């Protein structure tokens, strides 16, 4: 999966690399759980309701799991900041549904476990 990198400033290279990697991890985890093609999640055009919804979940997780701001997430997923904000609101509202909430929490736990391992290994997290 190739996410765009809008940050031309070389001094932010490490943050940019980490954010891009984290966004890719979110997209991959969501793609697996939702059965959506991972490469479709970062395309700038709409890809259909299943892919669009999976992208919303990936953007939500990038925000809540990794603390990325909406502007940064939007840039990485080829979306506007307001689109990310809308996605986070929609997913947050759906978290009250037990089945959906459990699914997203399960993905979040995987992302956290990955981050923990990466920290131990000196990785990206």
**Residue range 102-120, pLDDT digits in tens:** 999 999 999 988 776 654 5
pLDDT of residue 15: 73
Q: How many CA atoms lie within 13 A of 116 on its CB side?
A: 6
Quote the pTM value. Answer: 0.80
Q: How many structural domains does the chain have?
A: 1
pLDDT at 11: 43
Which DSSP letter does residue 45 get? S
- Residue stretches of the chain with pLDDT short of 50: 1-2, 9-11, 119, 125
Note whether 69 and 88 are within 8 A (CB): no
Residue at 59 is within a domain? yes
Q: What's the gap between Cα 91 and its chain centre? A: 12
In a domain, 18, yes or no: yes
Q: What pLDDT, on the 0 to 100 scale, is given for residue 1?
A: 46
Q: What are phi and psi for residue 18, nearest 5 degrees?
A: -65, -45
Q: Which pLDDT belongs to residue 114?
A: 79
CATH number of the domain where residue 67 is located: 1.10.1750.10
């Amino acid at each position: 999966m190739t996410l765009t990198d809008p940050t031309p400033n070389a001094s932010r290279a490490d943050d940019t690399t980490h954010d891009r990697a984290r966004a890719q991890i979110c997209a991959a985890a969501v793609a697996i759980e939702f059965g959506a093609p991972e490469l479709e999640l970062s395309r700038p055009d709409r890809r259909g309701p299943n892919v669009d919804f999976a992208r919303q979940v990936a953007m939500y997780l990038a925000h809540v799991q990794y603390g990325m701001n909406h502007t940064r997430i939007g840039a990485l997923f080829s979306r506007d900041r307001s689109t990310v904000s809308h996605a986070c609101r929609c997913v947050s509202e759906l978290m009250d549904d037990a089945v959906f909430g459990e699914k997203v929490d399960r993905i979040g736990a995987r992302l956290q476990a990955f981050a923990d391992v990466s920290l131990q290994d000196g990785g990206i997290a």
